Structure 1
Amino acid sequence: MAHLLGPVGLNETDNAVYLALATTPRGTAQDIAESAELALPAVRRALRTLTEAGLVTTLLARPMRYVVAPPEVSIDALVSRRQQELEGLRASARELALRLRETPASAETDVVEILEGNDVIQHRLAQMQLSAQDEVLIIDAPPYLHGTPVQNDQELVTLRRGVRYRSLYHGPALQLPGHYEQMMACIAAGEQARTLASAPMKMLIVDRRVALMPVSFAAAETRTRLLVHAAPLVEGLVVCFEALWEQAAPVHGGSQPPREGLSDRDRQVLSLMAAGLKDQAIARALGVAQRTVVRRIAEMMTTLGADTRFQAGMLAARRGWI
């Protein structure tokens, strides 16, 4: 019961005071403050909140004393009220969505919007992913909005809802601190990932209806993005994504069955090699010694009968290793 009352919107102090009062029947505010080891003003505020919620009642005494209302009645009533409020919120959201769909958009916003500033872009990225219903397509490449790659928490939430993610990673960027681990965490959560030796663009497409992309693929990070709504433009970006997807090397997580003595780490090495990373970069991304990578690549090239790294990648793909 670390935070019993969290689901009904009460904070940790309210929760602590409620639980302390449950073990301090007919306690005064001072008694509860000592039991919960909280400041007296904070306890008094919490008692007012709990009383207004119907979870606590007062006794006519000096000083005023408090008792917990029967939980099976008071908490059930509070939960019912919260459910009614949430249902009201859901109905209002649906009504608002209908109004927005019925509101004619201007010619400019119907085609493209310009987003400027980290906070604005980050908010829209989160909003787009959390509203996804079917599929999210991502090309992950530098430069990055925050300077370095960061974990995409919205992806992990959206994957749990059953939305499909396909992500293309710019191979050399996987050697940036933490980026390989971030990719593998997303793969473990259900993402389909592939790598390219060089990703010529970066973008995010949601449900094949809206896309977010930089104003230029060549420039340094400008903290400006284009939000594309127009169907023909989005369809063109999807075609570009699919063409790159076909060229890219798959990245497997740790749940693939072994093939011909190939370990999970071997598949990771092959995927990064196919993405164009050198031995030192592969070692840095995987957190292993470079000599380990060199030795294992040499062994796999011998097994495959390959004379070059490129040939090894092609033969590994034919065998279904990557």
Structure 2
Amino acid sequence: MTNAKLGESLRLLGVGEAAVRVYLALLEVAPAPLDAVGAATGLRGAELAAAYAELADAGLAGAVDEDAEVVAPVPPAAGLEILTRHRAAELEESRLAIGGAFESFRRRRLAAYDDHLVEVVTGDAVGPRMRHAWASAREQIRQFESPPYFPNPGATDDALATLARGVTQRVIYSRESLEYPGHLKDAVEPAVEAGEQARVLPSVPVKLVIIDEAYALVSLSIHEADVHNTMLVVQPCGLLSALVALFEQSWRNALPFHGPDTRPGGLPPADRRLLRLLAGGAGDDVVARELGISRRTLFRRLQILMARLGAANRFQLALQAQRSGWL
């Protein structure tokens, strides 16, 4: 190996320039007094002593026998191991420092950008923001709907006004929505009768409203919505695209609740409500409570409907009701 390549190798291991010159001289003149080594390198005094001490500390040079004045290179195995580990530690420290610096940069410089993509709305500001969302819709609203509900007395009127303007409204209701006291009669059915396209799932992952392709309103989770009364406003970005895809996949899997071509066929409103509750998975007690009837009366109405559609059980009843346009 040439002196140039050897010197570069030592430098890569963290050996200083002066110490490299001393080590190369040792390979040429040692064993020799340190002053002779210094003469070969052009170093002397404190500078020479410091360079040699660096080599000795690294395990690359040492005194010959008991003569402290005569020095020479020593077998490098242990010294090179020490230098290698020390250099690796320095490189890891540098890697962490650079990574930390970039992360700090990202938080500082990208935070302002991110703030424009996701906005947090809390407390009393939630209701007005939701009303503004309905009013701003131009083509389509997609919604996951489930309790708990924000205090917003005008929500049903906003939905009806939006439908009246010709905005398509597709809503996936959770079973809890249909079981929530009075919600089916006072909120869901008026919107469905006004043209809302509704489907039902046993549960929905989040409370979500997507306005056109412009932005989405989403709670952190169903349970957190009840505790924190907090909503996120998501502007166009990868997250909004993911929410749209989540809705469309859920829509394909949901059970139709009421389509635009439904023909009730003279079915009384109470019986339509009964079928919708059953289709949504509501239990007998919930259905009876929502209809304001006893379980005995409920069973009698079910028997009448099953006989009218030629259904032998509740599954056939739901199937025949769907085919007849009653759901």
Q: TM-score range, shorter-chain basis?
A: 0.5 to 0.7
1:304/1:227 Cα in 2 relative to 1: closer, same or farther (>3 Å)?
farther
1:131/1:237 Cα in 2 relative to 1: closer, same or farther (>3 Å)?
same
Structure 1 SS opposite 2:206: coil
1:292/1:197 Cα in 2 relative to 1: closer, same or farther (>3 Å)?
farther
The one-letter code of the counterpart of 2:196 is E
1:254/1:110 Cα in 2 relative to 1: closer, same or farther (>3 Å)?
closer
- Alignment pair present for 1:230 and 2:229: no
Cα distance per residue 1:104-152 (max 9 Å; x no partner): x9412332111111x2111211111111110111211012223x98743
- Alignment partners' CA distance in 2, 1:141 and 1:172: 6
- Alignment pair present for 1:199 and 2:199: no
Q: Which has the larger radius of gyration?
A: 2
Q: Across the two proteins, how many residue pairs are aligned to each other? A: 214
Match in the other structure for 1:140: 145
Match in the other structure for 1:83: none
The one-letter code of the counterpart of 1:114 is V
Match in the other structure for 1:112: 118
Q: Is the 8 A contact 2:262 2:325 kept in 1?
A: no
Is there any run of 5+ residues in structure 1 with no aligned partner, and where?
A: 1-104
- Alignment partners' CA distance in 1, 2:288 and 2:154: 21
Alignment of 1:201-280 (within 5 A): 201-219=206-224, 220-252=226-258, 256-258=262-264, 263-280=268-285
- Alignment pair present for 1:152 and 2:156: yes
1:299/1:182 Cα in 2 relative to 1: closer, same or farther (>3 Å)?
same
TM-score, scaled to structure 2: 0.56
- Alignment partners' CA distance in 2, 1:161 and 1:150: 17
- Alignment partners' CA distance in 1, 2:293 and 2:167: 33
Q: CA deviation at 1:256?
A: 4.4
Structure 2 SS opposite 1:243: helix
Question: How well do the aligned residues superpose, as a CA RMSD in angstroms?
Answer: 3.0
- Alignment partners' CA distance in 2, 1:246 and 1:253: 14
- Alignment partners' CA distance in 2, 1:137 and 1:254: 16
Structure 2 SS opposite 1:250: strand
- Alignment partners' CA distance in 1, 2:222 and 2:204: 10
Match in the other structure for 2:38: none
Give the fraction of aligned pairs with identical amino acids, expressed as a percent.
37
- Alignment pair present for 1:128 and 2:136: no
Q: Is the 8 A contact 1:251 1:268 kept in 2?
A: no
TM-score, scaled to structure 1: 0.57
